[in-house]
Amino acid sequence: MNALVSVVATVSGWLNLALATLVCATGAILTSWVPPRGAGVTFFARLWSRWWLAASGVRVRRTPPPRLPGGIYLANHASWYDIPSLIVSIPGNIRFLAKRTLFQIPIFGWALRAGGFIPVDRQDKSRAKESFQAGIDELRRGGSLVLFPEGTRSRDGRVHTFQRGGFLLALKSGLPIVPVGVEGTYRVLPRTTLRVRPRPVTVHFGAAVDPADYGLRGRRRLISEVRAEVARLAGVEAVAEDPSAAAEAEPGTES
């Protein structure tokens, strides 16, 4: 029975992902000009997320998020299902940093651009400053940014080294950092397979952290403490850090 449920969830999930993307991306593009800026895109992003999750048999629960006008949400990244789980859980208008190649996909990429999502070119480090400034500009317009500071999906479900880009954004903008642990998505769809296994997912929010309490000199301690909190919230182990990876300048994320 479990194998049959997984087959149905896999077929339904991927087929409905394609349909939901076509419908919701089109809707987001057509309503992107309606004020307030980004509200239409956020609505369709949440519709897209709920559609895909329901079609995959994935139920998402959340702990109460902190009440903030805006912030930088830093989450672990173990599965593609992290994205819809976070979209339906984080309040207000939210934006992600996403791979630049996604913006080249017809309709879907146009919707990302219309919604103020920020492209990151992981192959061209010279564009890091461009992405960084775009993140600052978006934060100044209001709302929140969501980043996966590991830069890519974890291969083993554990939390790996955090890049510093999201922390520099927080220090530059003065907005709080909210650690987020996404629990359960690795069992739904790990990186090594396309087979969906329906499971409950829980998004755990930590207390907001004021980066001003650390300053630039305390950046390493800030990164270490937030990383440990994200791992704790997700209920997984944090592996030994790689100092060279942590030194990467761009705000990392991978969709």
Relative to beta strand 177-183, strand 201-205 is antiparallel
pLDDT, tens digit (0-9, with 9 covering 90-100), for 52-95: 999 999 999 999 998 887 889 999 999 999 999 999 999 888 88
Q: In what order do the strands lie in the sheet with 118-120?
A: 60-62, 201-205, 177-183, 72-75, 144-147, 94-99, 118-120
CA distance 247 to 168: 11
- d(CA 125, CA 110) in angstroms, rounded, equals 23
| Confidence grade of residue 222 (pLDDT, cut at 50, 70, 90) | very high
Q: Which domains does the chain have, with CATH numbers?
A: 61-246 (3.40.1130.10)
| CA–CA gap between residue 179 and residue 176 (Å, rounded) | 10
The answer to whether 191 and 153 are in contact (CB under 8 A) is: yes
Higher pLDDT, 173 or 47: 47
More confident residue, 253 or 137: 137
User: Which tops the pLDDT comparison, 207 or 217?
Assistant: 207
Residue 249 has pLDDT above 60, yes or no: no
Helix 2-31 crosses helix 39-56 at what angle (to 10 degrees)? 170
- pLDDT at site 250: 47
Question: Would you state the torsion angle of the CA atoms of residues 190, 254, 135, 170, taken in this order, to the nearest 10 degrees?
Answer: 50
**Is 90 exceeded by the pLDDT of residue 151?**
no
Return the residue matching tokens 């704790």.
232
* 190 CA to centre of own chain: 16
Q: Taking residues 109-113, report their average pLDDT.
A: 85
Q: Answer whether the bond into residue 36 is a cis peptide, omega within 30°.
A: yes
